[in-house]
Amino acid sequence: MIRFHEDKKVFQLDTTNSTYLLAIVEDEFLAQAYYGEKLAEPITYTLRLDEAPFTPSQNNRDRVSFYDVLPMAYPTHGIGDFREDCLNICSKAGHSVVKLAYQSYEITTGKPKLKGLPATFADDDQAQTLTIKMVDQAIGAEVELAYSVFSDTDAIASSVKVRNASKDTLWLEKILSGCLELPAGQYDMLSLHGSWARERHVERREIGFGYQGVYSKRGSSGHQDHPFIAVLEPNASQASGHVYGMHFVYSGNYMAQVEKNQFDSVRCVMGIHPEDFSFKLEQGETFQAPEMIRVFSATGLDGMTHALHDLYRSHLIRSPYLHQKRPILINNWEATYFDFDADKLLSIAKEASSLGIEMLVMDDGWFGKRTSDNMSLGDWVVTESKFPDGLCGLVDKVNELGMKFGIWFEPEMISPDSDLYRAHPEWAIAVAGSTAGLSRNQYVLDFSREDVVEHIYQKLSKVLHSANIAYVKWDMNRPMADLASANLPADQQGELSHRYILGVYQLQERLITEFPYLLLENCAGGGGRFDPGMLYYSPQIWCSDDTDAIERLAIQEGTALIYPLSTMGAHVSDCPNHTVGRNTPFETRGHVALMGTFGYELDVNRIPDSDKAMIPQQVALYHQYADLIREGRYYRIASFRETHWYDAAMVVSPDQKEALIIYVQVLAKANAKRNKIHLRGLAENMRYAVANENFSALGSTLMRAGLLVNDVHGDFCSRLIHLKSV
């Protein structure tokens, strides 16, 4: 619910459990007065306007000092607020001072779309939106700050739009999507970091003075950092304490920065990374910044996790597969790499179908002259020598086995050794006259160009129309560098990275519009573009190229902190694992993959018979628990990074009548007694029985006294514990 208190000049945005207050100060400045647990009344005393340096009407001699202490709702550049700002506009006069003043507001029902961008959505009875108009009369800039609250989650979505209302050209040099101000105190910062094959590991550290944060300048959200930060009270835990989360609905360059200043207060900002960014605005033109999500939780990380999971499931993912069981797929990449043809794929499909696997996915190597990663990206034509009966011939035979068929694309890339590059070298992102850097033997196509996007779309569409294809894995295997477009004028080269991402969004939007029942899974060298922006187009994203069950514990822990389990692409792969060389029990690999979309990444014709015999059992487990895992509420029970022994997570059904715990003993302990884990999320007065055990207890007992885990012997061993109400 959103209200404006005219007497206090305060906007009050209430979610179920939180309140966000914005105050108009002296009919000019917009300040954040409060964000935290729900309040019954609006307040402004938290702004401390009766203390030096006071407000300009009382003490204009210290206006700059006032700017430097006021908790700004949306800070701007060059006015004397020397903390990190959100908006920098260069005027025709050459200066970049932006001084916004409050002008008007509007409260509407529902949630507006953002043109060309992924964004949350809601029906009129599910959300309200506050739009505040700010203006800078000197340079002729109009800024709209939009804030949306939802009836069923504690998340708040915010975005920014700038319009050039002057007669002259303006250049956006920086536009972030949101700011969060926290009062003086001690805080920790939690972020997700990593690299290829070890994405989204949780890191928590104390916030010190100065700048700290995460970013990507790689053209994608990246393996190394993630467009998310949380600020926590030092004593905050999984289940208690105050947590403030910020998440960016965008798939390109970003920054998320925390700054502790001289007065111990903390400012957090998030948005498009300003490096290599500028955007030219002629008279009347607008720029829409991507959306930022903010969450406050008084119940620790659990509360933040549940708010984000609820938001993304109900208000971001649009796929018809959102509430459907996903087909169990087998991908041939680690089974064959480039060495395959129709017969080899069909042999895998025949054996897989007999074991209960439901879809065959053909990965890289089916097109052009592609026998290695040195060639043919961009030439999306089926290799006749591998498929003498054409793609349709293979797909029809797979369908006759009762299986669906999926295919891999890397639409954004081009190989120097390709027919497309020989015809259009200017379509690759590169500086004219210099040698552009290769990565994985490929260049990046200039998706800021409409002709490039159109050409690639027509190629993809033709392939998808040629056969009964139910699934697409969309890959993106290198970062962007040598930023230059042969199509953009000199004064718009800074628009390349953002226009590129808009081109990606446009192509994926067209894809799912023309093929509405296509199951699209995004991927970028594994988990290199796992972000909320991608979820708007695909209900699941390949979590990581590292499929080792033990490595996946940390990867999936960090991912599940902010994303629903149904979005995490997770497969059972062969051993020794192709990434780390580790051997783990087939059962453990299956249990860990159950906490995601579940599938296989191996050759079923070459694995041990004992492993193969377990596949029908794992398939049965998936069908038994898929609805619970997809729709249930997730709780992190224990993390191996903290216990150095075991890892545990659980999912509780919406009606609290059922729960599933996945317990992994990573390293065995000598002379250890049975471990005890404290469950969460159960109904206190409901009695639960443990499946296949002669034991039951009240939910309150299991949460306070804990549950003993039956003997688990050896390293890398796991157990599924199923609770049902009795």
Positions marked active-site:
475, 545
Cis peptide before 388 (omega within 30 of 0): no
DSSP-derived secondary structure for 42-82 = ---GGG-TTSTT--HHHHGGGHHHHHTTS-BSS-BSSSS--
Cα–Cα distances in Å, from 86 out to 83, 102, 361? 10, 16, 44
Burial (CB count within 10 angstroms: exposed 0-12, middle 13-18, buried 19+), residue 339 = exposed
Please give the radius of gyration of the chain, using alpha carbons only, rounded to the nearest integer: 27
State whether residue 323 is helix, strand or coil. Answer: coil
Distance between CA atoms of residues 429 and 219, nearest Å: 12
DSSP-derived secondary structure for 599-617 = EEES-TTTS-HHHHHHHHH
State whether residue 496 is helix, strand or coil. Answer: helix
Reported in sequence order, the residue ranges of 210-356 that DSSP labels E, i.e. its strands, are 210-216, 228-232, 243-249, 254-260, 266-271, 279-281, 286-288, 291-297, 329-331
Residues with Cβ within 8 Å of 44's Cβ and at least 6 positions away in sequence, in order, are 8, 9, 10, 21, 23, 33
Distance between CA atoms of residues 449 and 500, nearest Å: 8
Q: How open is the CA angle 418-420-423, to the nearest 5 degrees?
A: 110
What's the distance, Cα to Cα, between the start and end of the chain in Å? 39
Tokens of 145: 């700050």
120 contacts 148 by C-beta, under 8 angstroms: yes
Residues with Cβ within 8 Å of 343's Cβ and at least 6 positions away in sequence, in order, are none
Neighbours of 81 (CB within 10 A): 18
Identify the residue whose tokens are 């998808």: 464
Identify the residue whose tokens are 């708010």: 307
Distance between CA atoms of residues 354 and 572, nearest Å: 17
Tokens of 190: 């939690």
Q: Nearest CA to 37 among 298, 250, 349?
A: 298
Distance between CA atoms of residues 169 and 140, nearest Å: 10
Going by the DSSP 8-state scheme, the letter that residue 722 receives in this structure is E
Burial (CB count within 10 angstroms: exposed 0-12, middle 13-18, buried 19+), residue 8 = middle
497 contacts 487 by C-beta, under 8 angstroms: no
Instruction: Give the helix ranges, DSSP H, for 264-299.
Output: none
43 contacts 55 by C-beta, under 8 angstroms: no
Identify the residue whose tokens are 């003075």: 209
Distance between CA atoms of residues 312 and 485, nearest Å: 34
Which amino acid, residue 115?
K
Neighbours of 212 (CB within 10 A): 16
